Each structure stands twice: as structure tokens, then as C-alpha cells.
Structure 1
């Protein structure tokens, strides 16, 4: 398993977990994870984890820009992985 494979697994698991944590914090009206962090991680390879987190936790589903950003992250990381081995 190459380093880029490990990176993609870790970043997707991290974003998936962050979506769950943010959902729980939202329910409790507690401090939240900044949206810019969630979106940036989605663009940096965690798009699939973000999309799965949206569906699994039913979180940020009314914000279209999250779905679009995460989908773009999936496409960008797929292109980078295919062409550059990342």
C-alpha cells in the first residue's frame, strides 16, 4: 500500500468522523467545527468521506455547497490519483 493510499484513507476517515462530531455538537448547541475546515478537507482528498458523512449522519444536507465541494474533491483526488499516482 502506497503512501497516497494511506493518505486518502486517513483523510476520508477523518472527514467522516468530523461530520459525525459536528452533528453531535450541533444537537447540543455546542462549539462547532468551522465550515471552512470541513470544506477544505473535502477538497484535499476527503470528498468521499464527506459525502458519506452527509448521508450517514444527515448533516449539512441542506447546504448544496457542501455536496458540490465534496463531489469536486472526489473528482479532483481521482484525477490526481490517476495521473500522478496520488
Structure 2
């Protein structure tokens, strides 16, 4: 990867995180003043496209949307996904001989495997312990 691409990615990440933090700040001010709010979907979209650090900073520093569920869990999920993608991409970049294996791990990460339906259809076994009263 050339230095120019690295700087472009770094500039993008700084810009998207500043924008996301600004969105949290504006939404917080509007929440206090009963103004028009920024939809949660827009805040999460900005976080998804690289602004998760700015979103988290907005939660902590501005104390905005820090207790609201499911928003908090969704933002945490976005951050976990981004960390996994960055780790796998870094491994693919630094270990070219393992690129196929790393790409299959990335695919498995992005396509979550669900448990088979039949494992939930069986009734739970109840164990009764008869002790001395």
C-alpha cells in the first residue's frame, strides 16, 4: 500500500469521526432545546462508515445516547465488527501466504452462522432434587 493511500484513509477516518462527533453534539443540543432531532439511523450509519470512534466519544464526552437501548448495543456491535475487519485485513496484508485463510475467516465473520432451529425445539430437561426439608 502506498503512502498516498495510507494518508487518504487516515484523512477520511479523521473527517468521518469529526463529522460523527459533530452530529452527536448537534443532536444533544437539539434534545435539550426540544428541536428537530437527528434520526438514530443516521447516527449509526455515520458510525458504520468509519465514525465509530467519534460516536463513542460523543456518548462519553457529551453523555448522549449512552443509556438508550438498542442504540447502545447496535453501536457496540458496529465497533466490534470494525475491529474484526481491521484485524483480519491487517493479517491478510502482513501474511500474504495466509491470504486465502484470512479471507475465509472474514467471510465467516460477516455472515453470522445461526444455530439450527431443531436445537431449540426440544423441551428443556428439568432435574428435580429432592432434599430433606
TM-score between the two structures when normalised by the length of structure 1: 0.81
Partner secondary structure for residue 2 of structure 1: helix
**Is residue 2:80 matched to residue 1:72?**
yes
Moved over 6 A (4+): none
Q: CA RMSD in A?
A: 2.3
More helix by share: 1
Q: Give me the whole-angstrom Cα distance separating, in 2, the residues matched to 1:54 and 1:23.
A: 10
The higher radius of gyration belongs to 2
* 1:38-77 correspondence to structure 2 within 5 Å: 38-63=43-68, 64-72=72-80, 74-75=82-83
Equivalent residue number for residue 25 of structure 1: 30
**Is residue 2:7 matched to residue 1:6?**
no
Structure 1 residue 73 displacement after superposition: 5.9
**Is residue 2:43 matched to residue 1:35?**
no
Q: How many residues align?
A: 84
